[in-house]
């Protein structure tokens, strides 16, 4: 016997844990707080500071069933996926997006109550009768699976390549078995509202007819009794108490009928003696109905037990499809792109097949270069993007509600003062909408080369350094968990076995640890747990203590990670000494957050290869700090440091111009590609047009030749008929007729030797021409005896006594003796 579909695994802090089998992999379904309590450790602490739990909740909200939502959270929190499992998860998500775009597939399980299906299969496995609504839910699931299989077959029939395009979902769907007879049986005996039909069995129909008859009799009896109580009739009404029909009286006055007093609180409830036998029969009839319904449901349960394994497999697959649907719908909603993941040791191996969506984009944009180990262009922080969309949606909703309120007040003819206030309110709301539309989240570019092991990011406070760390950490986790990353084009992301992060204030009062100590403890655990496939994110490394000691400790930590630590380490800092590591170690790279000095605010963009510079003194000067203080600060800061900042400023300017030139070159490259494609298209069109013109000319020449041959044959036939008629009319003209006959035969001979493509053919043969005694002139007509044709003189050579003539399509060079006039 196969294992049960769901198995309880105990509770932790009052939260239940449920195990859902899936291809020998178990998902623990629980809430996010339980995960942290259950798996306390540096991995879960890192995901907590990255706010991975919020992202999991956001993705799970796209699932259409409660079981699918819980399973989605569990799958996303399962941190032990192998590289092959991550690839398969991404393939599933991409296949679901393809099905969505195909328009003939429906992976939305809203109409199926998987919880009721689970309960139905539990009852069937325990040999207990199903409830009617459970049977209806089971039929809905089987119909959903059947519809998917029919859609898949139709798509494959249209194009057999779709089976491969939809893998692995096509294999998952085709392996399911649906017993159509069970669907038909459930539909025959149970209504869509979950009630057993009268036609389900003769016994059920008979029992329900008896119930309806008895209830009708009881209604009549109650009406008669109330009608006889003329004085108290207004205060009396029939009532059903525990399945027995009684009379409810509004006062405690005695009645004319006798019966059993069932209750005397706030009036009296009396069952008349006359109704007791009918109520007893009604109870028995209802018991018969319940038994007949149970017999029908038992019969349905027995049929289901015969295919129980296939139905449990269908339920597991439906839960898995709902998880895949949630990941795919999240990607479609937020504009995610397919990430190409790879193992660090396979970085030089060609990337796996890209998403069909990203293939379209790569024709217009450069593919991820081999020199990048992390290629994430224009990436968004998923939670910031979600928050912005929610705020914008709320603001737009407020505008709509305010507009509706104004219309309502106008209809109620409110006074002008109230209306003016309403208009001011909607104007301010509209300004909020415009402000949100004009200030979307800023995407960042992550282009990290293969040789880089440690990236040092500098920049001002609130400049976006921490958001950058979280963005790259969440992108790595999303790619590993089968989610599309939120970037402008297909990304190239290494497969990390773990993502470790030390971000925020980790002061621990319970362990008597300061902020600095809390950071050191976390970093120490990260260093001990990280491997050559890990991603490490360190925020404000070396902060919280003496600047000189903090800088020295930060440099030592980063050099340790670069030498024997994680695959990739990203660290933010304010210590200028950490910027110099790049110039002594090729494993380091610098980047800084751009700062707009004119507006005195960060732009939240990254400048790669440029160390950040200090802006504090310049900002102080712009904010109006007295000049003597600013000058003294610059003097204390040192001339050498000021010169370094000036060099850095020049590097930033050069970097900006360089990026602008890159964008401009990419733009022109795209234009040249478009022009090249247009030229190729026009060339193909010209070739097709030329072929069509040649074919048209050949066809016209063929038709003209056929018409000419037909005309010549008709003329020859007319000459023969004319000669025969003249021979019958007069024997005296035999000689003349003979000559005509010979003349006709000569014409026929000429027809047989004539070129059918000639533009004009002479039918009547000219009399015998005389020999030429003098040279002809250009343009004269002569008779070429060897051809039996007329020709036009094109050229005359008096010395050689030769002429060039054209006869039809032929040009000939002849002696004068070979032609006649």
Neighbours of 735 (CB within 10 A): 8
Residue 794 near residue 762 (C-beta atoms within 8 A):
no
DSSP calls for 529-597: H--TT-EEEESSTT-SS-HHHHHHHHHHHHHHHHHHS-SEEEEEE--GGGGGGGGT-TTEEEEEEEEET
pLDDT digits (tens, 9 = 90+) for 12-36: 323 333 333 333 333 333 444 444 4
Residue 354 near residue 91 (C-beta atoms within 8 A):
no
pLDDT of residue 635: 77
- Locate 200 and state its tokens: 């389900």
Longest dimension (CA), the chain: 158
Helix axes 465-480, 382-411, angle to 10 degrees: 100
C-alpha dist (Å) from residue 636 to 127, 548, 549, 689 = 87, 17, 21, 80
Gap between the Cα atoms of 579 and 611, Å rounded:
6
Residue 95 near residue 166 (C-beta atoms within 8 A):
yes
Gap between the Cα atoms of 596 and 604, Å rounded:
10
For CA atoms 419, 425, 426, 427, the dihedral sign is positive
Gap between the Cα atoms of 349 and 343, Å rounded:
9
3-state secondary structure 646-676: HHHHHHHHHHHHHHHHHHHHHHHHHHHHHHH
Strands 454-458, 588-596: pairing is: parallel
- Cβ neighbours of residue 626 closer than 8 Å, sequence gap 6 or more: none
User: Considering the chain, what is the average pLDDT of its residues?
Assistant: 78
pLDDT digits (tens, 9 = 90+) for 392-423: 998 889 888 888 888 887 777 655 554 444 45
Q: Is 356 helix (H, G, I), strand (E, B) or coil?
A: helix
CA 343 to chain centre: 25
Low-confidence ranges of the chain (pLDDT < 50): 1-40, 233, 349-354, 358-369, 418-422, 506-512, 640, 737, 754-770
Counting residues of the chain whose pLDDT is more than 70, the rounded percentage is: 77
pLDDT of residue 766: 41
Q: Is 372 helix (H, G, I), strand (E, B) or coil?
A: strand
Q: Which DSSP symbol is given to 582?
A: G
C-alpha dist (Å) from residue 469 to 448, 475, 594, 752 = 13, 10, 16, 94
Burial 673-697 (b: 16+ CB within 10 A, else e): eeeeeeeeeeeeeeeeeeeeeeeee
Neighbours of 556 (CB within 10 A): 10
Neighbours of 504 (CB within 10 A): 15
Gap between the Cα atoms of 448 and 375, Å rounded:
7
- Locate 338 and state its tokens: 């397919």
Residue 611 near residue 604 (C-beta atoms within 8 A):
no
Residue 440 near residue 403 (C-beta atoms within 8 A):
no
Tokens 């092959």 correspond to what residue? 84
Taking the alpha carbons at both ends of the chain, their separation in whole angstroms is 113
Strands 444-449, 339-342: pairing is: unpaired
């Amino acid at each position: 016997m196969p294992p049960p579909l769901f198995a309880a695994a105990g509770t932790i802090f009052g939260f239940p844990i449920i195990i859902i089998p899936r291809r020998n992999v178990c998902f623990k379904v629980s809430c996010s707080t339980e995960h942290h309590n259950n798996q306390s450790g540096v991995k879960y602490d890192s995901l907590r500071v990255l706010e991975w739990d919020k992202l999991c909740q956001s993705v799970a909200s796209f699932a259409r069933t409660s079981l699918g939502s819980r399973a989605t959270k569990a799958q996303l929190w399962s941190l032990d996926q192998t590289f092959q499992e991550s690839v398969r998860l991404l393939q599933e998500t991409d296949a679901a997006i393809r099905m969505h775009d195909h328009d003939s597939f429906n992976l939305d399980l809203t109409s199926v109550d998987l919880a009721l299906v689970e309960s139905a299969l539990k009852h069937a496995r325990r040999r207990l009768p199903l409830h009617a609504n459970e049977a209806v839910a089971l039929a809905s699931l089987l119909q959903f699976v059947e519809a998917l299989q029919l859609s898949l077959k139709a798509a494959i029939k249209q194009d057999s390549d779709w089976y491969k395009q939809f893998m692995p979902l096509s294999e998952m769907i085709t392996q399911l078995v649906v017993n159509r007879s069970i669907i038909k049986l459930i539909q025959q005996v149970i209504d869509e509202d979950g009630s057993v039909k009268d036609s389900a069995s003769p016994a059920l129909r008979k029992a329900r007819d008896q119930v309806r008859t008895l209830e009708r009799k009881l209604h009549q009896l109650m009406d008669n009794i109330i009608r006889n109580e003329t004085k108290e009739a207004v205060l009396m009404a029939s009532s059903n108490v525990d399945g027995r029909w009684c009379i409810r009286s509004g006062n405690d006055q005695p009645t004319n009928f006798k019966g059993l007093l069932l209750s005397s609180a706030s009036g009296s409830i009396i069952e008349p003696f006359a109704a007791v036998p009918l109520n007893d029969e009604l109870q028995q009839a209802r018991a018969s109905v319940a038994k007949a319904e149970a017999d029908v449901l038992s019969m349905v349960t027995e049929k289901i037990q015969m295919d129980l394994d296939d139905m449990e497999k269908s339920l597991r697959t439906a839960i898995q499809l709902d998880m895949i649907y949630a990941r795919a719908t999240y990607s479609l909603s937020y504009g995610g792109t397919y990430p190409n993941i790879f193992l660090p040791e396979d970085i030089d191996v060609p990337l796996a097949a890209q998403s069909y969506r990203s293939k379209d984009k790569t024709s217009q944009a450069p593919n991820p270069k081999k020199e990048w180990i992390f290629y994430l262009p224009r990436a968004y922080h998923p939670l910031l993007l979600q928050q912005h969309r929610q705020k914008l949606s709320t603001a737009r909703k407020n505008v709509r509600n305010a507009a509706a309120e104004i219309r309502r007040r106008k209809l109620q003819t409110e006074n002008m003062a109230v209306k003016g206030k309403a208009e001011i309110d909607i104007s301010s709301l509209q300004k909020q909408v415009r402000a949100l539309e004009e200030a979307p989240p800023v995407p960042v570019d992550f282009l990290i080369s293969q040789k880089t092991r440690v990236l040092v990011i500098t920049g001002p406070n609130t400049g976006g350094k921490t958001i950058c760390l979280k963005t790259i950490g969440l992108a790595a986790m999303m790619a590993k968990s089968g989610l599309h990353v939120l970037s402008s084009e297909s990304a190239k992301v290494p497969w990390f076995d773990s993502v470790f992060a030390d971000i925020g204030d980790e002061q621990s009062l319970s362990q008597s640890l300061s902020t600095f100590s809390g950071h050191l403890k976390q970093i120490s655990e990260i260093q001990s747990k990280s491997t050559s496939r890990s991603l490490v994110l360190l925020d404000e490394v070396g902060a919280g203590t003496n600047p000189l000691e903090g800088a020295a400790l930060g440099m030592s930590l980063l050099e340790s990670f670069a030498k024997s630590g994680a695959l990739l380490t990203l660290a933010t800092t304010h210590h200028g000494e950490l910027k110099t590591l790049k110039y002594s170690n090729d494993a380091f790279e610098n980047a800084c957050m751009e700062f707009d000095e004119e507006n005195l605010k960060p732009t939240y963009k990254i400048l790669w290869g440029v160390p950040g510079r200090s802006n504090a003194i310049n900002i102080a000067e712009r904010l109006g700090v007295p000049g003597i203080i600013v000058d003294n600060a610059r003097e204390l800061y040192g001339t050498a440091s000021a010169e370094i900042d000036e060099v850095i400023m020049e590097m930033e300017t050069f970097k900006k111009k360089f990026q602008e030139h890159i964008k401009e070159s990419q733009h022109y490259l795209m234009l040249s590609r478009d022009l090249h494609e247009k030229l190729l298209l026009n060339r193909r069109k010209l070739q097709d047009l030329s072929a069509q013109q040649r074919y048209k000319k050949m066809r016209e020449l063929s038709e003209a030749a056929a018409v000419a041959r037909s005309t010549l044959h008709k003329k020859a036939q007319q000459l023969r008929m004319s000669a025969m008629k003249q021979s019958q009319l007069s024997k005296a003209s035999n000689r003349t007729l003979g000559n005509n006959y010979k003349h006709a035969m000569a014409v026929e001979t000429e027809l047989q030797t004539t070129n059918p493509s000639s533009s004009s053919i002479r039918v009547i043969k000219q009399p015998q021409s005389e020999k030429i005694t003098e040279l002809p002139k250009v343009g004269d007509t002569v008779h070429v005896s060897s051809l039996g044709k007329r020709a036009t003189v094109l050229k005359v050579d008096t010395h050689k006594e030769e002429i060039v003539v054209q006869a039809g399509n032929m040009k000939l060079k002849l002696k004068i003796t070979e032609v006649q006039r």
